[in-house]
Amino acid sequence: MATEDESISVFASFRRFFALERDVLVLSAAMFAFSLGFQMTNRFLPEYMVALGASGFVVGLFGTFGNVISALYPYPGGAVSDRIGSRYALTLFGLISTVGFAVWLVAPRIGAFTIAGVPIEPWLWIFVGLVLAQAWKSFGLGATFAVVKQATDPSRLAAGFASTETFRRTAFLIGPVAAAVLIGLHPAFTVSFQYVLAVAVGFGIVGTIVQHYLYDASADDIGGSFAGIDQIRRDLRGMPDPLRPLLVGDTIVRFANGMVYVFFVLVVTQILQVGVETTVSIAGYSYAIDLSPAAFFGYLLGVEMLIALLIMAPAAKLAEHVGLKPIVGLGFAVYAIFPIVLINTPASATALILVFAFSGLRFAGLPSHKALIVGPAEQGAGGRVTGTYYLLRNALVIPSAAVGGYLWEFVSPGVAFTIATALGVLGTGYFLIFGEEFKAYR
């Protein structure tokens, strides 16, 4: 039996994770590969679009377009999986996602041209690539939740999610840092970012091959056939009552974050314009460090995710003593406060490191949040409840980035980030007042 100290360590989370059955590990390995691809590329795409001629408002529309895809993909993705089988669905989605990375890679080379008098700018291909690149994410969101729920004692749900999240989020740490290294290889961002995209294509190919040849779906019995819009309506009506205040608060907080999320990179690279230029002496040798603002942003994301990895397992353990609600509320509060903190940060590398370390604390509430979503669901209904929750939340959040983009472009970035924080505080307060605790943690 694990000791108390072992049960709250990052390494214990990895040990619990690698004790899972082979097919789950194979899928997780593929998830790790695709997560690396996404995290190396996705957070830098707004900077890439601006370099290709897009305005701030277009960047906001891109964020909203991503919200549309996140809301609409899971249900048809599940339907395709039911139709052709998990193994071939995973392979198909993996190939499509890899093609999406490749479209981003060649976008600058396509250049601007005109169709029927309508100018087609290079940044438009970033939208096309997103349609493809997010295909793999359409599989398994609800199934992942359901598997953890079925395999974990109700009072240990947060710890179960902490184990899987710690593994997955390691890719979120490695990806941006690897991207920062590659971006530093060339002074022109459009060139150096293509190095990043080429590596992402490679990860997509590896992930697709691994899941196709190693995953055995012969005994896969997760989920049934999709019954159309009527099924969605039944699932919405059947959502457990304790989830409703969580859904309201979560939606407001996510809408607020969605208003400014795609602009975080632009704050660092275009408003604050903070890079790092210094000399470090180690063992008598001096090393020059020269990071552009874009490369420095990658390391800031690494700092954020390092804090997340260190905090998730202890926070999940703490939830067993204080309940899920306070830990989820903490995560919501960090989500809410971060925009106003970031936009008012001094143009200092040290200050930005501290600010992004603070942002990593929002992940403390992630395992508890997932446990609070799936916990009230009846056994065998965790996947449907999760899918319904995220479908509704993501659909309501769709306009957020466009709203933020309009404020960024036509009012001011400061106003956009201030309104985002005000909304986030409102959502956090609503949850803390009306949210319900999962009974297994009372």
pLDDT attached to residue 1: 41
Residue 240, H or E segment: none
pLDDT at 266: 97
SS3 290: strand
Residue 370 counted as domain residue: yes
Could you give the CA distance from residue 264 to residue 174 in angstroms, rounded to a whole number?
19
User: Would 220 be classed as within a structural domain?
Assistant: no
From first CA to last CA, the distance across the chain in angstroms is 25
What does the block give as tokens for 211?
Answer: 């899941």
Long-range contact set of residues 6-15: C-beta below 8 Å, sequence gap at least 24:
7/159, 7/317, 8/313, 8/314, 8/316, 8/317, 9/313, 10/166, 10/309, 10/310, 10/313, 12/313, 13/162, 13/163, 13/166, 13/167, 13/312, 13/313, 14/163, 14/166, 14/167
Among residues 163, 79, 96, the alpha carbon closest in space to that of 133 is found at 96
> Tokens representing 152?
């974990």
Q: What is the pLDDT of residue 3?
A: 46
From residue 369, how far is each of 232, 322, 421, 430 by CA, in Å? 22, 14, 20, 15
Residue 289 inside a domain? The answer is: yes
Domain annotation covers residue 221:
no
Domain of 203, in residue numbers: 4-215+239-441
Return the pLDDT at 265.
97
CATH number at residue 207: 1.20.1250.20
In a domain, 227, yes or no: no
Maximal CA-CA distance, the chain: 70
d(CA 28, CA 45): 25
DSSP line for 28-42: HHHHHHHHHHHHHHG
Give the DSSP H/E element, type plus range, for residue 193.
helix 189-214
d(CA 93, CA 345): 40
Q: What is the pLDDT of residue 213?
A: 80
Compute the distance between CA of residue 278 and CA of residue 285 in angstroms, rounded to an integer. Answer: 14
pLDDT in tens, the chain (442 residues): 444 444 555 555 555 555 455 555 666 677 788 888 988 999 999 999 999 999 999 999 999 999 998 888 766 665 666 566 667 777 888 899 999 999 999 999 887 777 777 788 999 999 999 999 988 776 545 445 555 555 556 666 555 565 666 667 788 889 999 999 999 999 999 999 999 999 999 999 998 898 788 766 655 544 444 555 676 677 677 677 778 899 999 999 999 999 999 999 999 999 999 999 887 777 677 777 889 999 999 999 999 999 998 998 888 889 888 888 999 999 999 999 999 999 999 999 999 999 999 999 999 888 888 888 877 655 544 556 676 787 889 899 999 999 999 999 999 999 999 999 999 999 999 999 998 886 655 5
User: By C-alpha distance, which of 208, 193, 167 is closest to 269?
Assistant: 193
Helix, coil or strand: residue 286: strand
Alpha-carbon distance 238 to 241, whole Å? 9
Token output for 86:
């998990």
* Count of domains for the chain: 1
228 within some domain = no
- Specify if 273 maps to a domain: yes
Place of tokens 């306070």: 326
CA distance 336 to 77: 31
Report the distance separating Cα 391 and Cα 23, nearest Å.
26
Is 255 among the domain residues? Answer: yes
How far apart, in whole angstroms, are the C-alpha atoms of residue 59 and residue 402?
8
The amino acid at 152: T
Q: What's the Rg (C-alpha) of the chain?
A: 21
Q: Against a cut of 0.75, is the pTM above it?
A: yes
- No. of helices (H) and no. of strands (E), the chain: 21, 4
